[in-house]
Structure 1
Amino acid sequence: MRPVSTKLTFSVLLGAVSSIVYADSITVYSALEQDEINSYLQQLSVDHPDLEVNVLRLSTGDLAARLIAEAGRPQVDVIWGLALSNMIDPQILSQLAPYSPEGVDVLAAPYKDEEGRWFAATGYLGALCINEPMLERLGLPTPASWEDLADPVYKGEIVMPNPASSGTGYMQMVAIEQGMPDGWALIEQINGNVAQYTSSGSRPCQMARMGEYAIGASFAFVAMRSIAEGYPIKMVIPEDFAGYELEASAMLSTSSNPEAAQKFLDWTLSDSVADLYGDYKEIVTIPGATRPEGADEAGLPENVEDILFPMDFAQSASDRPSFLTEWQQRIGR
Structure 2
Amino acid sequence: MTELNAISSMEHAELAEFIAGISQHIGMPVRLTRCSTSELIERLHSGSAGAWDLLLGTAATALLDPGLAWQLMPLTDIEFAGLPDAAVATDRRWFAASGFVPAFCYDPKVLAREGLAVPTSWQDLTGPEWSGRLALPDPGRSGAGYLHLGALLEHYGEQAWALLAQVARQDPSISGSSTAPIEAVVQGQAWLGVTVSTAATRAAEQHPDLRWCVPEDARCYEDEVFACRAGSPNAAYAQQALQWMLTPAAAAISQRYGKVVPGQAHPSGTLQPLPALQASRDKAARCRQWQALFSRETAHG
Normalised TM-score (structure 1): 0.80
User: Any conservation in 1 of the 2:98–2:224 contact (CA below 8 Å)?
Assistant: yes
2:223 partner letter: L
Out of 50, 63, 71, the position equivalent to 1:87 is 63
1:322 corresponding residue in structure 2: 285
Q: What CA distance in whole angstroms lies between the structure 1 residues aligned with 2:201 and 2:18?
A: 20
Over 3 Å counting, the alpha-carbon distance change for 1:221 and 1:29 in structure 2 is closer
User: Any conservation in 2 of the 1:161–1:197 contact (CA below 8 Å)?
Assistant: yes
Gapped runs of 5+ residues in structure 2? none
Q: What CA distance in whole angstroms lies between the structure 2 residues aligned with 1:256 and 1:262?
A: 12
Higher mean alpha-carbon deviation, 220-229 vs 113-122, is at 220-229
Higher relative helix content: 2
Normalised TM-score (structure 2): 0.87
Gapped runs of 5+ residues in structure 1? 1-20
Deviation at 1:152, TM superposition (A): 2.2
Any idea what SS the aligned residue of 1:181 has? helix
Q: 1:206-242 CA distances to partner (integer Å, 9 max, x unpaired)?
A: 3324433111111224434444555333323211222
Out of 175, 180, 194, the position equivalent to 1:203 is 180
Deviation at 1:317, TM superposition (A): 0.6
User: Any conservation in 2 of the 1:30–1:56 contact (CA below 8 Å)?
Assistant: yes
User: Any conservation in 2 of the 1:30–1:63 contact (CA below 8 Å)?
Assistant: yes
1:279 corresponding residue in structure 2: 256
- Does residue 62 of structure 2 align to residue 99 of structure 1? no
Q: What CA distance in whole angstroms lies between the structure 2 residues aligned with 1:55 and 1:280?
A: 20
Highest RCO, 1 vs 2 (Cα 8 Å, sep ≥ 6):
2
Q: Percent identity?
A: 27
CA RMSD after TM alignment:
2.5
Out of 19, 22, 25, the position equivalent to 1:41 is 19
Out of 238, 241, 247, the position equivalent to 1:270 is 247
Output aligned runs, 1:1-20, within 5 Å: none
Over 3 Å counting, the alpha-carbon distance change for 1:160 and 1:264 in structure 2 is same
- Does residue 166 of structure 2 align to residue 189 of structure 1? yes
Out of 37, 53, 67, the position equivalent to 1:60 is 37
Q: What CA distance in whole angstroms lies between the structure 2 residues aligned with 1:224 and 1:57?
A: 19
- Does residue 53 of structure 2 align to residue 77 of structure 1? yes
Output aligned runs, 1:104-123, within 5 Å: 104-123=80-99
Q: What CA distance in whole angstroms lies between the structure 2 residues aligned with 1:99 and 1:194?
A: 46
1:213 corresponding residue in structure 2: 190
Deviation at 1:148, TM superposition (A): 1.6
Higher mean alpha-carbon deviation, 169-178 vs 261-270, is at 261-270
Q: 1:171-205 CA distances to partner (integer Å, 9 max, x unpaired)?
A: 11122133323322211211111431122113322
